Amino acid sequence: MITLPTRQRSSLYLPHRNHHGFTLIELVILLAILSIVFHLAAPTFQNIGANSRMTAHINNMVTSFNYARSEAIKRNHNLVICPNDNGSCAREPHWHNGWLIFIDDNFNREIELGEEIIYVEAAKKNVEITSSRYRRRVVFRSTGYSYGSNASFIFCDQRGSSKARAIVLSNTGRARVADKKLNNKDWKCQG
């Protein structure tokens, strides 16, 4: 009988297989790269979120001005917008506690018994809204015009004056949004 030599395999031999996936080193490198990218991108995403919140607050106030102006014209009567202080007009020009719109029957710019409050805006979180020093009230006449001089409503958040924006309300009752003052300086935040 003839015996043919058999191929002997070493006990260390492993058959070649196609592996799918990452080695541990590749995975660690990938996680390090993703971590760096995330830390670089996170402030940008936070800034986008803060800008979005600021824009929403500004749009709410512009909408309130437009509503009060159109109601004053429609009702042929003075309407007042003032900062809310538990259902009455606040003495300070701080609007982040919300605001009221009411029909001023006796033209004294104060909410009196029997005067109708037609709109209440809720308090705002994470934003401070202040108006020009002497503009604690905005009165829209039946013509749609606003009493007094132009008013600025400054919106500030935790980012400070460099990111502050404002609504400028003209005597004609038109509101516009401004990122900077006319002299190209930042709006000044309180505190």
Supply the pLDDT for residue 133: 72
Which domain, by its residues, includes 78?
Answer: 25-178
Give the tens place of pLDDT for each residue, 80-101.
Answer: 999 999 889 998 889 999 999 9
Supply the pLDDT for residue 124: 87
Asked whether residue 5 is assigned to any structural domain, the reply reads no
How far does Cα 71 stand from its chain's mean position? 26
Nearest CA to 94 out of 125, 65, 128 is that of 128
pLDDT exceeds 80 at position 12: no
Asked whether residue 8 is assigned to any structural domain, the reply reads no
Asked whether residue 15 is assigned to any structural domain, the reply reads no
Q: Average per-residue pLDDT in the chain?
A: 87
The pLDDT-based confidence of 190 (bands split at 50, 70, 90) is confident
Supply the pLDDT for residue 13: 59
Sign of torsion, CA 178 179 182 186? Answer: positive
Asked whether residue 54 is assigned to any structural domain, the reply reads yes
Supply the pLDDT for residue 100: 95
Phi and psi at residue 178, to the nearest 5°? -130, 130
* Separation between Cα atoms, residue 132 and residue 15, nearest integer Å: 81
Asked whether residue 10 is assigned to any structural domain, the reply reads no
CATH of the domain at 50: 3.55.40.10
Give the tens place of pLDDT for each residue, 96-111.
Answer: 999 999 999 988 988 9
Supply the pLDDT for residue 44: 77
* Separation between Cα atoms, residue 61 and residue 126, nearest integer Å: 15
Supply the pLDDT for residue 149: 78
Asked whether residue 187 is assigned to any structural domain, the reply reads no
Task: Tell me the mean pLDDT in the region 22-35.
Answer: 88
Give the tens place of pLDDT for each residue, 109-150.
Answer: 889 888 999 999 998 888 999 987 777 899 999 999 998 778
Task: Tell me the mean pLDDT in the region 30-52.
Answer: 85
* Separation between Cα atoms, residue 163 and residue 180, nearest integer Å: 9
- Counted domains in the chain: 1
Supply the pLDDT for residue 60: 95
Asked whether residue 20 is assigned to any structural domain, the reply reads no
Asked whether residue 2 is assigned to any structural domain, the reply reads no
For residue 106 the two structure tokens come to 């006796």
